[in-house]
């Protein structure tokens, strides 16, 4: 049996909601109604249409979504390579819309690290692995030469590519190049590591090794990691996967391990969530609405601990 909440209950809840701190105040990455419109030959493409996303410090999470859904557009903005048309974006306390050109350069060199899908885009071909990693430290004037090369070797060892230290990119496999690229991205100890399809050009076994390197960065160095991926295996290995659809975050899947009290067996339980924006808008997964034939309008009922959504049962001609 369920009882409907009283007006007093509802008023108390509304008050509690108003007292809640502002959106994203404790997040490392905050995107608030982010919009990016591209205009080519007078035709507008809305790549991001009011995207909301919060990422907490220390997270390792994946972004998934169909081709053209806006993933790379979002990554380019977070990387400081592109600026949004409207909305707000903050990373590690920096406001990505109001940064000066000088701040933006410093941001790209020290606050974020990025790894791209094309292995050739990540490393300079005429430098060895160790020299590629030392370069970002030289550009920011971080430490002395000796310390820079020590750090380069430490990072190579950590990501299990120590044997590549003196090799140039063409002398390494694709997977080794991507792990060296992660080391380059980590050189200046960034708050966030961003990767756009970093395993897209690799076979599944190699992709797994590269993904393991991201996990190592996250677990050993505490770096917050955001990976765009089409790879179901990668998406299934992180605690949180956020889906982007039509330039907005739609649903997310959270995974946690549960240990069976009797057998001691560990199982991973995944649960799907929908984003609720500040205006109360909710995007229901298409599979759900299609399964129940829901469209245009649904019936709602507020229950003490949930909201029930039913297919429209009103009479209509
Ligand atoms: N520089 C640009 N100029 C014009 N349109 C662009 C530009 N960059 C992206 N777009 C458009 O914005 C939309 C989102 O593109 P985006 O590259 O972010 O998608 P994506 O999710 O990364 O796709 P994929 O999985 O194929 O990499 C697409 O319609 C794309 O054509
Ligand atoms: Mg892309």
pLDDT in tens, 1-60: 456 667 777 777 777 766 666 666 779 999 999 999 999 999 999 999 999 999 999 999
Q: Which ligand is nearest to the CA of 73?
A: 1
Residue with CA closest to ligand 1 atom 6 = 38
Mean pLDDT for 79-100 is 94
- Per the model's pLDDT, the better-predicted residue between 131 and 20 turns out to be 131
Nearest atom (ligand 1) to Cα of 74: 18
Going along the chain from its start, the domains and CATH numbers come out as 29-246 (3.40.50.300), 284-317 (no CATH)
**39 CB within 6 A, ligand 1:** no
The distance of Cα 243 from the centroid of its chain, to the nearest Å, equals 10
| Cα 44 from Cα 23, distance rounded (Å) | 29
| Cα 23 from Cα 183, distance rounded (Å) | 33
pLDDT at 261: 86
- Does residue 316 carry a pLDDT above 60? no
pTM of the model: 0.87
Q: At what angle do helices 204-221 and 174-186 cross, to 10 degrees?
A: 20
The pLDDT > 90 percentage for the chain reads: 67
Q: Decide if 114 contacts 188 (C-beta within 8 A).
A: no
Of the chain, the end-to-end C-alpha distance in Å amounts to: 34
Q: Decide if 273 contacts 249 (C-beta within 8 A).
A: no
Q: How far is the CA of 185 from the centre of ligand 1 (A)?
A: 23
**69 CB within 6 A, ligand 1:** yes
Residue with CA closest to ligand 1 atom 31 = 68
pLDDT at 3: 60
Q: How far is the CA of 78 from the centre of ligand 1 (A)?
A: 15
pLDDT digits (tens, 9 = 90+) for 147-177: 999 999 999 999 999 999 999 999 999 999 9
44, 47, 199, best to mutate for ligand 1 pocket (most atoms within 8 Å of CB):
47
Compute φ and ψ for 189, nearest 5 degrees.
55, 60
pLDDT at 2: 52
- Does residue 314 carry a pLDDT above 90? no
pLDDT at 19: 67
pLDDT at 282: 84
Per-residue H/E/C for 149-198: HHHHHHHHHHCCCHHHCCCCHHHCCHHHHHHHHHHHHHCCCCCEEEEECC
Handedness of CA 258, 287, 76, 119 (dihedral sign): positive
Residue with CA closest to ligand 1 atom 30 = 68
106's enclosing H/E stretch is: helix 101-106
């Amino acid at each position: 049996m369920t009882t409907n909440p009283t007006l007093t209950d509802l008023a108390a809840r509304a008050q509690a909601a108003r007292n809640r701190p502002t959106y994203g105040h404790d997040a490392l990455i905050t995107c608030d109604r982010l919009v990016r419109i591209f205009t080519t030959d007078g035709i507008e493409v809305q790549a991001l249409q009011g995207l909301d996303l919060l990422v907490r410090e220390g997270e390792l999470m994946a972004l998934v979504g169909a081709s053209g859904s806006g993933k790379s557009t979002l990554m380019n903005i977070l990387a400081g390579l592109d600026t949004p048309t409207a909305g707000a974006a903050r990373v590690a306390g920096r406001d990505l819309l109001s940064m000066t050109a000088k701040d933006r350069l410093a941001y790209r060199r020290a606050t974020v690290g990025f790894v791209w899908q094309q292995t050739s885009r990540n490393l300079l071909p005429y430098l060895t692995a160790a020299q590629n990693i030392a370069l970002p430290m030289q550009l920011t004037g971080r430490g002395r030469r000796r310390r820079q090369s020590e750090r380069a070797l430490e990072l190579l060892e950590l990501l299990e590519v120590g044997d590549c230290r003196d090799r140039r990119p063409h002398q390494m496999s694709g997977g080794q190049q991507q792990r060296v690229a992660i080391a380059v991205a980590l050189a200046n100890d960034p708050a966030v590591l961003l990767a756009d399809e970093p395993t897209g050009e690799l076979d599944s076994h190699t992709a797994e090794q590269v993904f393991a390197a991201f996990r190592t960065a996250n677990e050993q160095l505490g770096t917050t990691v955001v990976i765009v991926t089409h790879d179901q295996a990668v998406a299934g290995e992180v605690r949180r996967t956020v889906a982007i659809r039509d330039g907005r975050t739609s649903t997310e899947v959270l995974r946690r391990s549960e240990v069976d009290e009797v057998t001691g067996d560990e199982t991973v339980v995944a649960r799907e969530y929908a984003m609720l924006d500040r205006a109360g808008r909710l995007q229901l997964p298409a599979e759900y609405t299609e399964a129940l034939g829901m469209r245009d309008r649904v019936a709602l009922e507020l229950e003490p601990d949930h909201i029930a959504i039913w297919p429209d049962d009103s009479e209509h001609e």
